[in-house]
Amino acid sequence: MNQNRKRVNRRKKRQRNQAVLIASILVIIGIFVGIKFIPRQQQEHVQIANPSENQNGTTDNTESNNKEQVENNKDEENDKDKVEENNLDNSGYLSFEEDPNADDAAIVAENTKGLLNGTKHYPVRTDGKKVVYLTFDDGPSTTNTPQVLDILDKYNVKATFFVLGSSIDKNEEAKEILKEQVKRGHAIANHTYSHDYSYLYPNRVMNVDNIISDLEKSENSMKAVLGKDFSTRVIRLPGGYWSWEGRTPMKEAMEQDGYYNVDWNALDKDAEGKPKNADELLQCTKETVEALGPNADSVVLLMHDTYGKEETVKALPRIIEYLQSEGYEFRTIK
């Protein structure tokens, strides 16, 4: 009996020892698993702590989010580069390709030259339109240019202003008017700095060095107002290109520097002969336009917006209305 009790006690003790051993093994395994996997789970938890939700309200996985973020960053960088490319320091002045109101100066210059020297005949355009280019020389002035701008706005017409560097530098108000011309969508062209015939054409011969220097000086005056990236390739020589000797060297210099000289083939004669009133200026405009013939489809009209041209301002509304009645569309030269 005693021996049976002892056997039972030994068996129980063995079972307890086995249970303790198994429990110890399980504890050790648990500690090992915890050490190996818990940090990874914590790391994953940190990575998805603030996931972005997709359109269905579910969260995307980390790898997908990282890829998307990289692509977004690339897109933002590309957009920034495009903005910087278009953000020129030129007061927003548009090239002729960007400007819906402008025609290519290269074509306008070639057509006008051909019409003046007889190598071309109307019609010269290829789009079937009748176009007139209103051009104003010698400004900006503080007296007449603002009124010209307001009249052009009233008729929703754009013009090309052949400005003088010396007129720009005359005062601060003139500088602001130049900015306003650009703001209102008009074209800016270069009419030299000085307009000094004796300096530009000594003995009636073109002095190429003096002319180019004067054009560059005038453009620098424009840049000082409109921004360092402003430029214009459109020029008009005082008195007109065909009035002077020595044209071949000047032609070569213009080609080298990328200039396009645009003369005129109609005018209101506000700088010719005796002073004229508004009625007479309108009549001169009609006569010179009609002299081009019924097929005229590209007309460059010369006027002036400088000081002392108040009658031009008075005539301008009727000049515009006359040209409209003849079926002309108004465009600029860039």
> Catalytic positions, please?
137, 304
């006569």: which residue's tokens? Answer: 287
Using an 8 Å Cβ cutoff, are 181 and 334 in contact?
Answer: no
| E runs forming strands in 200-244 | 234-235
């013009």: which residue's tokens? Answer: 159
- Which tokens is 280 given? 């007479």
- Which tokens is 208 given? 């190429």
Using an 8 Å Cβ cutoff, are 233 and 105 in contact?
Answer: yes
Whole-angstrom CA distances from 246 to 122, 197, 217, 263 are: 28, 14, 22, 17
Q: In the beta sheet, which residues pair with residue 187?
A: 160
Upstream peptide bond of 51 is cis (omega within 30 degrees of 0): no
């590209």: which residue's tokens? Answer: 298
**Which DSSP category does 303 fall into?**
E
Burial (CB < 10 A; 0-12, 13-18, 19+), residue 314, is middle
How far apart, in whole angstroms, are the C-alpha atoms of residue 253 and residue 211?
A: 10
- In Å, how far from its chain's centre is CA 169? 24
Q: In the beta sheet, which residues pair with residue 235?
A: 190, 261
**Which DSSP category does 268 fall into?**
-
How far apart, in whole angstroms, are the C-alpha atoms of residue 303 and residue 266?
A: 9
